[in-house]
Amino acid sequence: MSEFDLINQYFKTASVKRKDVVLGIGDDCALLSPPPGKQLAVSTDTLISGVHFPENTKPEDIGYKSLAVNLSDLAAMGAEPAWVSLAISLPEVNETWLEGFMSGFSELAQQYNVSLIGGDTTRGPLSVTVSITGFVSAGAALRRDAAKAGDYIYVTGSLGDARLGLEAILNNTVIDNDVQFCINRLNRPEARVLAGRLLSELTDITAIDISDGLLADLSHICEASKTGASIELQSLPLSTQLRRVYQQQPEWEKVLSAGDDYELCFCCSPGQESAVLETFKAHDIVLNKIGVITESKGIQCVQADGSLLEIDHQGYNHFQSE
């Protein structure tokens, strides 16, 4: 089967129809009509086998996750997902793999009405690069450089589940229901698209998605905003499942540096807090206040007894030895 047949068979049929896609897969370029007056938010992420997911990950999960991590970047800007390009490198033609991949990818694409507008398939070591475009009103995007001392720091959902799931896979742990929950969080992260869009309608919000771990990603906010932060470990949201596995003794360093949960971390001014809480309550989105932005640089992690946790490792970094 030729590259072009592959593209036609799996990609064209999988694509969601949108009116703003004038010409989809099949020509030299896709042609798109952006909505008047909106800005475009664009992000690109690569997932490499053995680096970003274990080599035995199911193709359905790779397809799902490759779109989810890009949706998460749009969520962190408060943008509405629209179009996506997909570049896949495969060691060999494998229709079963492609079918599985596209079923996971399409499940999420349909959920968010994202149209697959093009891409490239090449022979090579397994990797997936997704480039996504969303829409956001001018001035409404959630940037990471707007935090001010005194802002409260919030995170959605829970932290650390995906990392525990990854460790369970790598260490061949016995997989009970709690561990399976964590593995699902690793393979099928839920991008916080709605949360991001709700936040983009408010003012004085600074946001990032947690892909490399809370400490690493919060430090991006702090660096961009020229601030520091103080967080209370007791306030970090842990799932019931994670608490059971940890037997109520969270390994804080792991939770703080856990990537792959794809929750949002955001800061809001005290004056905006009630609006934030009301909005999230109305949409039933789990939210926890974990700390405050400070004038002094660096991130302090305060333990239950008031002492500070010493931390070596701030997050996952693809180019540093771990």
Contacts of 313 (CB under 8 A, 6+ apart): 253, 257, 322
Query: Is the Cβ–Cβ distance between 75 and 217 less than 8 Å?
Result: no
What letter would DSSP give residue 206?
E
- Taking the least distance from each CB to its own copies, the nearer of 186 and 242 is 186
Report how far residue 314's alpha carbon sits from residue 281's, in angstroms, rounded to the nearest whole number.
31
What type of residue is 227? Answer: T
- Taking the least distance from each CB to its own copies, the nearer of 173 and 203 is 203
In the complex, the residues that contact its own copies under the rule CB under 8 A are 1-4, 6, 22-23, 26-34, 36, 39-46, 48, 51-52, 73-74, 76-77, 79, 83, 85-87, 89, 93, 117-125, 127, 129, 131, 133-134, 136, 138, 141, 143-145, 207-209, 220, 224, 317-320
The two beta strands, 228-232 and 298-302, are: parallel
Report how far residue 254's alpha carbon sits from residue 304's, in angstroms, rounded to the nearest whole number.
17
308: tokens are: 């500070």
- Taking the least distance from each CB to its own copies, the nearer of 178 and 190 is 190
CB of 155 to its own copies, least distance (A): 15
Total residues found in the chain within this entry: 322
- Taking the least distance from each CB to its own copies, the nearer of 108 and 182 is 108
- Taking the least distance from each CB to its own copies, the nearer of 182 and 218 is 218
CB of 6 to its own copies, least distance (A): 7
What type of residue is 34? Answer: P
Report how far residue 73's alpha carbon sits from residue 193's, in angstroms, rounded to the nearest whole number.
9
CB of 321 to its own copies, least distance (A): 11
- Give the closest residue to 65 by CA, choosing from 194, 162, 179, 200: 162
- Taking the least distance from each CB to its own copies, the nearer of 119 and 228 is 119
- CA angle (53, 156, 255) in 5-degree steps: 55
- Taking the least distance from each CB to its own copies, the nearer of 168 and 207 is 207
187: tokens are: 């393979």
CB of 262 to its own copies, least distance (A): 11
CB of 174 to its own copies, least distance (A): 31
CB of 109 to its own copies, least distance (A): 16
CB of 240 to its own copies, least distance (A): 29
- Burial of 24: CB neighbours in 10 Å, binned 0-12, 13-18, 19+: buried
Report how far residue 87's alpha carbon sits from residue 2's, in angstroms, rounded to the nearest whole number.
16
- Taking the least distance from each CB to its own copies, the nearer of 73 and 261 is 73
CB of 164 to its own copies, least distance (A): 23
- Sign of the Cα pseudo-torsion (223, 225, 229, 231, in order): negative
